[in-house]
Amino acid sequence: MRSKTRPLLTYTVLVIIVMVSLGILLAQLTRSYFITIFEERISVESEYFITYVEDFLEGDQVTSESLSRFSEQINTSLVFISDEEEILIDTVEANEEVTEADKERIINIVKSTENSMREGKLLDDVFYYPLPQTIGDTTGTLILISPVDSLSNITKNIWLIISMTLLIGLIAIYFIGYNVFSNYIRPIRAAAGVADELAKGNYKARTYEGHFGEAGQLSRSINILARNLQKMTSSKGMQENQLEAVINNMGSGLILIDEKGYIQLVNRAFVDSFGGSKKNYVGYLYHDAIPFTAIHETVQNIYMFEETVSEAFILPVDINRKHLEVTGAPIFSDKKQWKGIVLVFHDITDMKKLEQMRKDFVANVSHELKTPITSIRGFSETLLDGAMKDEQMLKQFLEIILKESGRLQSLIQDLLELSKVEREDFHLTLEHFNVQNFLRDLLPIVKHQAKKKNITLQGEIEGHTTVEGDTSRLKQVFINLLSNAVNYTGENGNVHLNFKEYDDHVIVSVKDNGVGIPKEEVPRIFERFYRVDKARSRNSGGTGLGLAIVKHIVEAHHGSIQVESEEGEGTTFHVKLFKEFTNI
């Protein structure tokens, strides 16, 4: 609002200054004019005044009364002061418009002024004119004092006229200024404001179009420009959002590198594969942001040969090894100018793992089945060849055949169990149960096995917590974990079963101080038939499928299992289970 009234205020102040200056100039001119008129009149009439005063001083027919009447008639007071400062004539009393105070001030001024410097002057509303004269033997100064009321009246009239003119001028300026402001300045300012908003990127800004002439045309043009910019921005933003959504939701990692080697774009899949965040890559040189020489060589090949390149890598990312297929291609503009390259990373780690698992599964099943079958076949042939006649040997071979057939049965049973939990139609029989009581009931089952190795089995499972789950399946999980802890713990070792409760879940931990697991082997312990120490695992009676079954059952409960282990110091399994399936 302040900026809108500034021009009108400026014009108003300018007019006031001009009118006041004009008034002061006219007042001065009027004052000078009247002084000039008085001087001319007195200079003409001074001889007559002097003659009258001479007659009075010489006593020739002029009395004080006649001199006073004369002064009253001409509206001019006469004061004659001798050089000895004696007042010889004083008719001030005859003139009511001249006061004694005025007379005293004028006399003092005249006394303090040299004869050569004496001249007529206006003092307030009184004009005085000193005339040095010698009358007879008397030398002095005749002072003519005349009131000038007309000058004051004229000055007042001048200021009144100027004030009225100023008022009328201000009113006219207000209406003219308001009209100019409404029809020209306001539309231009509104258009300028909208232009500023458009420059800032606010394409929703609009201005009023109801103006006439060039201002209205300007407003309409600004609005058309704003609508076109908004439409273009909206379309561009939609395309960018769609493109960003497609790029970020691609299953494959994507990276865009400009012609200078700086990374311009990475998608979510790339960040998930290589770690970090987008700010760790965008804006950096590719060989500084990506720490893999194989990828550097691929980029350099594309720059060198300017053609599409496809390669496969095995890269160590964190603690895992990723299998990647990389396809890179150069980017050219419409004018065949080099703009950079694009790389697409296909993560085939899961496919490689699945392929390897299939190979391992076939090999492991074949190997695991071959060992007991070979033993059973070999000892059976030996018995048929005559060893059955030796009762001691017969009993020993039959026990071996029984043991191997038990191993074969356990293996087949675990395979069937694993196949069952991996099926898509596998379902749990859910119920609510007290998890502390459930865990306490498991300890006696494993205690007999622990007692053979003099292992201390402890359980910290106090409290009363209700959990929803399949008790028969969870029993498989914890018996397997406890049995493994006992099997892989040496004589006089310790196995702990711990329980912790949280707001919506519980964590059951099985901890031992046994042989532990090498760090590089931890990611593979849940694979089927995988054994850290194959000879030791067979001797303990394991099939290599127990932890795979455990993992599938825990995941079927929407839980998770984590491993902490250090070789030679022991292993801890943490099983997380939610209290309610509806809260998952």
Does the pLDDT of residue 199 top 50, yes or no?
A: yes
CATH code linked to domain 431-583: 3.30.565.10
Does the pLDDT of residue 92 top 60, yes or no?
A: yes
Report the alpha-carbon distance of residue 157 to residue 160 in Å, rounded: 5
Kindly indicate whether the domain formed by 250-343 is annotated with CATH number 3.40.980.10.
no
Q: What is the pTM of this model?
A: 0.39
Write out pLDDT tens, residues 144-173: 777 776 666 666 777 777 778 777 877 777
**pLDDT value, residue 115:** 60
**pLDDT value, residue 104:** 75
Q: Which residue has the higher pLDDT, 533 or 511?
A: 511
Does the pLDDT of residue 1 top 50, yes or no?
A: no
Please tell me the least confidently modeled range out of 49-63, 202-216, 565-579: 49-63
**pLDDT value, residue 414:** 62
Alpha-carbon torsion (95, 100, 104, 109), positive or negative: negative
Domain boundaries along the sequence of the chain: 2-147, 250-343, 353-422, 431-583
**pLDDT value, residue 136:** 64
CATH code linked to domain 353-422: 1.10.287.130
Report the alpha-carbon distance of residue 248 to residue 566 in Å, rounded: 39
Domains 2-147 and 250-343 share a fold: yes
CATH code linked to domain 2-147: 3.30.450.20
Whole-number percent of the chain with pLDDT over 90 = 1
Mean pLDDT to the nearest integer, 482-486: 87
Cα→Cα distances 279→245, 260, 284, 343, 344, Å: 18, 18, 9, 18, 19
Write out pLDDT tens, residues 35-50: 677 667 666 666 666 6
Q: Which residue has the higher pLDDT, 386 or 281?
A: 281
Long-range contacts formed by 367-373: CB under 8 A, 24+ apart: 368/411, 368/529, 368/543, 368/544, 369/408, 369/411, 371/404, 371/407, 372/404, 372/405, 372/407, 372/408, 372/411, 373/404, 373/408
Mean pLDDT to the nearest integer, 100-121: 69
Mean pLDDT to the nearest integer, 4-14: 67
Write out pLDDT tens, residues 423-474: 655 677 788 888 888 888 888 888 888 888 888 888 888 888 888 888 888 8
Mean pLDDT to the nearest integer, 410-435: 70
Helix (H) or strand (E) holding 575, with range, is strand 570-578
**pLDDT value, residue 483:** 86
Q: Which residue has the higher pLDDT, 82 or 297?
A: 297
Please tell me the least confidently modeled range out of 16-20, 244-248, 271-275, 424-428: 424-428
Report the alpha-carbon distance of residue 290 to residue 281 in Å, rounded: 8
How sure is the predictor about 537, in pLDDT bands with cuts at 50, 70 and 90? very low
Does the pLDDT of residue 536 top 50, yes or no?
A: no
At position 185, the amino acid (one-letter code) is: I
Alpha-carbon torsion (59, 60, 61, 63), positive or negative: negative
Contact assessment for residue 326 and residue 313, using Cβ atoms and an 8 Å cutoff: yes
Report the alpha-carbon distance of residue 522 to residue 573 in Å, rounded: 11
Mean pLDDT to the nearest integer, 226-252: 76
Mean pLDDT to the nearest integer, 511-523: 84
Q: Where are the beta strands (DSSP E) in 55-174?
A: 77-82, 87-90, 121-123, 126-135, 138-147
Which of the given ranges, 6-10, 40-44, 126-130, has the highest pLDDT on average? 126-130
Please tell me the least confidently modeled range out of 118-127, 246-255, 466-475: 118-127
Average pLDDT in the chain: 76
Phi, psi at residue 429, to the nearest 5°? Answer: -95, 95
Does the pLDDT of residue 535 top 50, yes or no?
A: no
